[in-house]
Structure formats: structure tokens, C-alpha cells
Amino acid sequence: MELMAVKAWKVMVVMAVLWAATASLAQTGSAPAQTPAPSATPQAQSGASTSAQSNPQTPPANGGQKMLQPKSQAEYQAYVDANSKTDPAQAEAAANDFATKYPSSDLRTALYTRLMNLYAQANNTDKVIDLGRKAIAADPTNPIPLVQVASALAESTRETDLDREQRLAEAAKDAQAAIDNLDTGLLLPANADPVRVEGAKRSIRTMAYDTLGMVDLDRGDYPSAEQHLQKAIAESQADPQAVLYLRLSVAQDKLKQYPQALDSVNKAVQYAQAGSVAQSLAKQQQERLQKLVGAQAPAGSTATPPPAGGAAAPSPPPVPNPQPNASSTPQ
């Protein structure tokens, strides 16, 4: 199955909350561990307990999720300096320098995850994986680098790769870890908007289940692929994505569930961006399945006629990872 490189839109979608977290920290003007800024701790202004106000290490009532928290003014200033770099190479050097000086800092993950976004925007998948692995090493429970590395590995692994199975295994492990740690692993600002947080969680779950589905397809485990892709589609109902329906159609096609596969690809055609690769491949798959099911089959029919003449059904088209309309990404 042909897969394209990871797309920057994915990083931008799931990083919305993290950007808010890093911006909240960077704009305080001093280390929150010592002097929390009122703008970064609105719960203190709305009746938070005095114990939480007097102890800046005490997290707010945000569902038990983690908060960015430097341990000293020097660490905070070093973070701000590193976070100000906009050139990817310079930002990477600054992040590595920060990690060397503060090897136990919680902020290493924030810097490396920001770097993933910079390199994803440059379509540098190898760097996305490299920096994502560093972010995971700094914080093995943060679902954002976990899901980004998983997705990048699944999308960039080829059948000819000598380490193909190791890459797929790592992708599956990271994707599942992103799901398992979603409720406790996100780094959040004190005033995180619950609506945006839930939107980011849906995006992460969508990416994780999609990644597990891609790994299943690569391994030929089509029943599992169908289940994972159905879950990805369920998570993205507010913003249907054509490529998910196209992948699901391929899994159902491989299972000889031709009517279901046709229904899925019809939705892929419906939701695909005009002129996109996804639309082109979806139309190819749609035409093929229409012939298999029968152009005159009644709507909702579950009949599965064999190919004309008893010939083996041709293989479905390869599934890419096209970039969807950015305006339709969940917020």
C-alpha cells in the first residue's frame, strides 16, 4: 500500500492545546514556579483554594492533567530563549542545548514537540520522527509526540525497508500509548479551554486509530484494520475525512465485503477535496466496486456477486495520505 509523508496539518491540529500552553508560559514574563502570573492562573481569580495559590507546584482542577512548570528562573529564561527561535535548525540546536543544561526539565518535551511542528511544516518526516522520539524520551506519556511519531512512521514505512517490521511495531506501540495516556498525559495551560481540549483529544484519537489501521493494512490484518478505522471515523464525525473512508473501503474490499466497501468509498468521494489525490483514488475504487456489486443492485442490497466471468477481483488502488482542506480540521 502506497503511503505519503506525514502532513503538517496533523501536527497543527493536535498541537492547538500545546501551543496555548507554551504561549501561556512564555508570556508570563517570569518563571511560574516562582511567581505565577495572574493571566496564567485564572482559577486563582475565580475562587481557587488558597493552598493551590500558595503552592505553584499544585496543579489546577483540570482533570488531573499535567501543566508546564519550570523549576527555576534560570530554567524558565533558557526555555523562553530556546522557544523564541523560528528557524528549525537554530531551534533544534537551542532545544538540544536546553536539554543538556536541564536534563530533567518538563519543558524539554514542549521544545521538542514544537520542533516537530516546524519540521512537519517543512515536510521533513525524518526530523519529525527524530525530534518526536526525543520528546517521548523526555516524557513517555505525552500523547502528542506519541501520536505524531506513530503516524509519521506508519505513513513513511515502505515494503522494501529492512527495518519495516520494527517501524510498524513502534508505530503501533506509540499509537496505543497515545490513546492510553490521553486523559493524563497532555501538557495544558492553567486556563485551557475545555472545548479545545476535547477537540484536541478527538484529533489525537482519530490519528491514533487511523495509524493502527494503517499498520494493520500493511500487515494484512484486515479485520483489525476495519475495526480501528471505524473507530477513527467515529472520532472524526464532526469533520469527516475522505482518506479514512478510503482506507476503510480498502480493508472491507480485502475482506470481500463489497457492498460495505462501496458505501465507504461513496463517502470518501463525497468528502474528498475536489482535485485531490484522495478524490482521484476514491473514484477509481468506486468504479471498481460498482462493477463488483452490480450497477443495478437495489439500494441497501447486501448481495455480493462475483466478478464477471468468475475472474479474480482486481486489487483496490493504493491509499495515500492526502492533505485535507485545512479549514475543515477540528479545532
Contact (Cβ atoms closer than 8 angstroms) between residue 187 and residue 109 = yes
| Residues 81 and 206 grouped into a single domain | yes
Quote the CA–CA distance of 142 and 264 in Å, as a whole number: 33
Domain C-terminal end among 199, 221, 237: 237
Quote the CA–CA distance of 318 and 330 in Å, as a whole number: 26
Domain C-terminal end among 169, 204, 237: 237
| Residues 216 and 125 grouped into a single domain | yes
Tell me the pLDDT of the chain (331 aa) as tens digits.
443 333 434 544 455 445 555 555 655 544 554 433 333 333 333 333 333 333 434 444 444 556 677 889 999 999 999 999 999 999 999 999 999 999 999 899 989 999 998 898 888 999 999 999 999 999 999 999 999 999 999 999 999 999 999 999 999 999 999 999 999 998 777 777 888 889 889 999 999 999 999 999 999 999 999 999 999 999 999 999 999 999 999 999 999 999 999 999 999 999 999 998 889 999 999 999 999 888 545 555 554 444 444 444 555 655 555 433 333 333 3
pTM: 0.77
The three cell numbers locating residue 173: 506501540
Quote the CA–CA distance of 244 and 206 in Å, as a whole number: 9
| Residues 155 and 167 grouped into a single domain | yes
| Residues 287 and 163 grouped into a single domain | no
For residue 122, being part of any structural domain is answered with yes
Domain C-terminal end among 194, 222, 237: 237
Quote the CA–CA distance of 227 and 290 in Å, as a whole number: 23
How many independent structural domains does the chain possess? 2
The distance from CA 316 to its chain's CA centroid, rounded to whole angstroms, is 26
| Residues 266 and 122 grouped into a single domain | no
| Residues 102 and 227 grouped into a single domain | yes
| Residues 129 and 168 grouped into a single domain | yes
Find the radius of gyration of the CA atoms of the chain: 22
| Residues 279 and 212 grouped into a single domain | no
| Residues 232 and 139 grouped into a single domain | yes
| CATH number of residue 96's parent domain | 1.25.40.10
Range of the domain at 188: 1-33+60-237
| Residues 198 and 108 grouped into a single domain | yes
